[in-house]
């Protein structure tokens, strides 16, 4: 597998997102511009690419999985837009451009997030077309909705806000930090892999391996995120750096130190690679993506 | 059909909502309390009752349609919570109790709305259980997502905000007002009827009649809402009254006068009744609900 596949798949995802999202001129134009501002701010498209990689590993058809994979990116972008709002994380920059509420105002940002969540879940119910996918699509919507619901992503966001609000007396432990991340980012990453597997009619054993891979990849992703926050510049990262420690946020390097965090990152990547090796013959996209998550610069 | 059916169905909807929503004690408890605060503030449950009435008219099974009908109420409540936010309509009271952000803070209200949208769409994908409903559920999720998306409910909300922001020079016309309402409230009311019809495997002709009924009922509902705002007290309505004219909002009585608005209301109700009569033999719930919408006091 040539590592170029990431750039190629990313381009396919971008083209498909452009096709699936309402045109910027269509009524209500200002809202559609806000949606496109955030979706096309240059994300890594990790979640759609993971869904496609899972489909490839399970013998599925990439073209069939592509629109549902884009639904995952819409849902991810919704979560970023709402997390960035003044009432939540209050961030001004994201992916190198002003956040949605900075560029379009708070009301529009709230509605743009709502719209992306709605449209994203709709894509999962709608694609791939054809009756033979009806049962798989019902399972897909259920899996993703559970992953991003109150016992999943939203719960992680609540816990994160509460941990920050608790102040100096708060419980600061690796257990609490891992719980936040496992929910806030881990669950959607795992669900993305499930989408690729379910739409490829993968057997339960493969779905379990995909989930194990996703769990370790998600953990690695977050440790790397925290390491980037202390080791990168704003130019490299496209958003403010050093913000975590300035806000007294729990982070892996803050709790474990940089060296131990790097060791945990390597360990998680090793476990993800092991699960990938049981799903893919030789070099496959899942194995490659594990390496990419550990090495990425933003 | 005894008019008691409304109270009875409403009780069934409330019990089912209680079953479907996460327990208030379950993690993240504060969020679940906020969700239940808004859902159980005493709504009319119009949308679930419409879905059930449509199912009854099309020979469907009420018990089967009930959880999906509750999904519609969750989606409706999400839209109220987000509309009430300070960045949008900035309302302090709703259904006789403090709005979600007043009681739980803005961050929690944003996330509670997100969760209800997610959970509501998930209910539509999940229920009724059983393979024979897979195709119908895929159509249901698509219809509802379209109705509440940017070309539907969210678009209406954007247009409403823009109409208010445009100030004294704004276009103030019945055409613009009807466009706002047809999208902001009308589309979800029509979709609620479609849900009942689709899950009862209704033929296309019945689905068209349900849609015609819903269009007129939605219009009547909104004219009545505007009339209540000028004719009711806060105690009767459970929220501030006279707020529309104080904010210079377009309303039916404001543009047409009270008498002409009442005439339009009667006309819309008459058309809704005519569509209901083609769907139901004798007195049925759809016909009854048209009368209820015209006569309601809150």
Contact between chains at A125 and B119 (C-beta distance less than 8 A): no
Query: Is residue B105 within 8 Å of residue A105, measured between CB atoms?
Result: no
Among positive and negative, which fits the CA dihedral B247, B251, B255, B258?
Answer: negative
Contact assessment for residue B95 and residue B42, using Cβ atoms and an 8 Å cutoff: yes
A158–chain B Cβ distance below 8 A for any pair: yes
**What burial class does residue A170 get, using C-beta atoms within 10 Å of its C-beta: 0-12 exposed, 13-18 middle, 19+ buried?**
middle
B62 at A interface, C-beta within 8 A: no
In order of their start, the domains of chain A are 5-295 (1.10.600.10)
Let me know: does A230 contact A252? Beta carbons within 8 Å: no
Contact B155 A119 (CB under 8 A): no
What are the phi and psi torsion angles at B284 (to 5°)?
-130, 170
B115 and A CB contact within 8 Å: yes
Whole-number pLDDT of residue A281: 82
Closest CA to B183 of B205, B160, B206, B202: B160
User: Would the CB atoms of A27 and B155 count as touching at under 8 Å?
Assistant: yes
Question: In this complex, is the C-beta atom of A208 within 8 Å of any C-beta atom belonging to chain B?
Answer: no
> What burial letters (b/e) apply to A60-81, b meaning 16+ CB within 10 Å?
bebebbbbbbbbbbbbbbbbbb
User: Helices B62-83 and B153-165 meet at what angle, rounded to 10?
Assistant: 20
pLDDT, tens only, A27-81: 999 999 999 999 999 889 999 999 999 999 999 999 999 999 999 999 999 999 9
Interface check for A11 against chain B (CB to CB < 8 A): the answer is: no
Please tell me the predicted confidence (pLDDT) of residue A248. Answer: 74
Contact A150 B113 (CB under 8 A): no
pLDDT tens string, chain B, 298 residues long: the values are 666 899 999 999 999 999 999 999 999 999 999 999 999 998 899 999 999 999 999 999 999 999 999 999 999 999 999 999 999 999 999 888 999 999 999 999 999 999 999 999 999 999 999 999 999 999 999 999 999 999 999 999 999 999 988 766 778 899 999 999 999 999 999 999 999 999 999 999 999 999 999 999 999 999 999 999 888 766 666 666 666 666 678 999 999 999 999 999 999 999 999 999 999 988 899 999 999 999 988 7
Tens place of pLDDT for every residue, chain A, 298 residues? 666 899 999 999 999 999 999 999 999 999 999 999 999 998 899 999 999 999 999 999 999 999 999 999 999 999 999 999 999 999 999 888 999 999 999 999 999 999 999 999 999 999 999 999 999 999 999 999 999 999 999 999 999 999 988 766 778 899 999 999 999 999 999 999 999 999 999 999 999 999 999 999 999 999 999 999 888 766 666 666 666 666 678 999 999 999 999 999 999 999 999 999 999 988 899 999 999 999 988 7
**Which is nearest to A286 in space by CA: A109, A53, A105?**
A53
Chain B residue with CA closest to A143: the answer is: B122
Residues B62, B70: contact at Cβ < 8 Å?
Answer: no
- B88 part of contact set with chain A, CB < 8 Å: yes
Beta-carbon separation of A154 and B125 below 8 A: no
Q: What pLDDT does B281 receive?
A: 82
B/e letters for A152-163, b = 16+ CB within 10 Å, e = fewer, are bbbbbbbbbbbb
Q: Which positions ≥6 away from A250 have C-beta within 8 Å?
A: A163, A172, A176, A177, A180
Q: How far apart are CA B42 and CA B31, in angstroms?
A: 19
Measured distance CA(A259)–CA(A62) in Å, rounded:
39
**Residue B23 DSSP code:** P
CB atoms within 10 A of CB B132: 9
Write out the two tokens for B234: 């806060």
Predicted local distance difference test score (pLDDT) of residue B239: 63
Phi-psi region of A239 (alpha: psi -120 to 50; beta: other; left: phi over 0): beta
pTM of the model: 0.95
φ, ψ of residue A105 to 5 degrees: the values are: 90, 160
Which one, of B145, B129, B270, lies nearest residue B195 by Cα?
B145
Cα gap B148→B191, rounded to integer Å? 9
| Rounded CA separation A94/A47 (Å) | 17
* Three-state DSSP class for residue A98: strand
pLDDT, averaged across chain A? 93
Q: In B, which residues are within 8 Å of A28 by CB distance?
A: 150, 154-155, 158-159, 162
CB-CB neighbors (< 8 A) of B175 in chain A: none
Q: Are B214 and B276 in contact (CB under 8 A)?
A: no
């Amino acid at each position: 597998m040539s590592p170029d596949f990431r750039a190629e798949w990313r381009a396919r995802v971008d083209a498909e997102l452009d096709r699936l999202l309402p045109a910027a001129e269509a009524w209500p134009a200002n809202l559609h511009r806000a949606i496109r501002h955030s979706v096309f701010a240059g994300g890594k498209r990790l979640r759609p690419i993971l869904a496609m990689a899972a489909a490839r590993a399970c013998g599925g058809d990439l073209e069939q999985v592509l629109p549902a994979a884009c639904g995952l990116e819409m849902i991810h972008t919704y979560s970023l837009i709402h997390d960035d709002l003044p009432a939540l994380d209050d961030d001004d920059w994201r992916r190198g451009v002003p956040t949605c509420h900075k560029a379009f105002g708070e009301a529009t940002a709230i509605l743009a997030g709502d719209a992306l969540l709605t449209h994203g879940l709709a894509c999962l119910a709608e694609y791939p077309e054809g009756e033979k996918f009806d049962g798989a699509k019902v399972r897909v919507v259920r899996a993703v909705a559970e992953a991003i619901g109150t016992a999943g992503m939203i719960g992680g966001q609540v816990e994160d806000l509460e941990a920050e609000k608790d102040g100096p007396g708060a419980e600061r432990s690796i257990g609490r930090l891992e719980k936040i991340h496992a929910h806030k980012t881990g669950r959607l990453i795992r669900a993305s892999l499930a989408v690729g597997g379910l739409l490829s009619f993968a057997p339960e054993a493969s779905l379990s391996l995909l989930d194990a891979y996703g769990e370790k990849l998600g953990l690695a992703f977050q440790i790397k995120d925290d390491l980037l926050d202390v080791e990168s510049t704003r130019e490299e990262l496209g958003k403010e750096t050093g913000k975590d420690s300035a806000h007294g946020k729990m982070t892996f390097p803050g709790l474990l130190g940089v060296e131990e965090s790097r060791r945990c990152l390597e360990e998680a990547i090793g476990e993800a690679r092991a699960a990938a090796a049981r799903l893919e013959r030789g070099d496959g996209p899942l194995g490659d993506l594990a390496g990419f998550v550990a090495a990425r610069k933003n």
